[in-house]
Structure 1
């Protein structure tokens, strides 16, 4: 197993467990071509911090890579709402583009 993933997995349920840890672990799973595990981590990140627009964006990407276009669009839509509410305009724009692409290909 990837040593970075192992290291992050050991921190789960510890004092440093939180949205950032889950987000970081999800990114490592994406790099390792494991989109289902990545999606699980990103879901855990947004459960811990529903205002984490980067985690919503990453969740959409992981779901899309795993073949769940409908789930990815839902994640992007939730992320767009969060990003717009926070004033994170660039993230909102990116997620709108990704969602539109998925909807067109469906």
Structure 2
């Protein structure tokens, strides 16, 4: 049984929560199943709104799934959250990713 299967079996149990959903999103990202990665990353930030790493993964998954506007929105929200809780490195990384999307769209 794969790591993903193991994680999926834990859903809706006593260990379910933002960290589990983030782990599932990471496994889907590793498999390059970007729509599923985005779905589970979104569940993670819904369960724990200040989860900087989940916001970063959500942005990446949305971008890879061909949704640059949604990715940009996720990065902007993630940046605000990361800065608000002092997670400077995550905020810095998301700013770089957001700038790349804006540049690709013809903005600066």
| TM-score, normalisation: structure 2 | 0.95
Residue 28 (1) aligns with residue 15 (2): no
Give structure 1 stretches of 5+ with no counterpart. Answer: none
Q: Deviations over 1:57-91 (max 9, x none)?
A: 00000001101000000000010000000011111
**Aligned Cα root-mean-square deviation (Å):** 0.8
Relative to the length of structure 1, the TM-score reads 0.97
Unaligned runs of 5+ in 2: none
Structure having the larger proportion of residues in helix: 1
Count of equivalent residues: 105
1:78 aligns with 2:77: yes
Q: Does 1:49 align with 2:45?
A: no
After the TM superposition, which residues 60-99 of structure 1 pair with which residues of structure 2 at under 5 Å, given as runs?
60-99=59-98
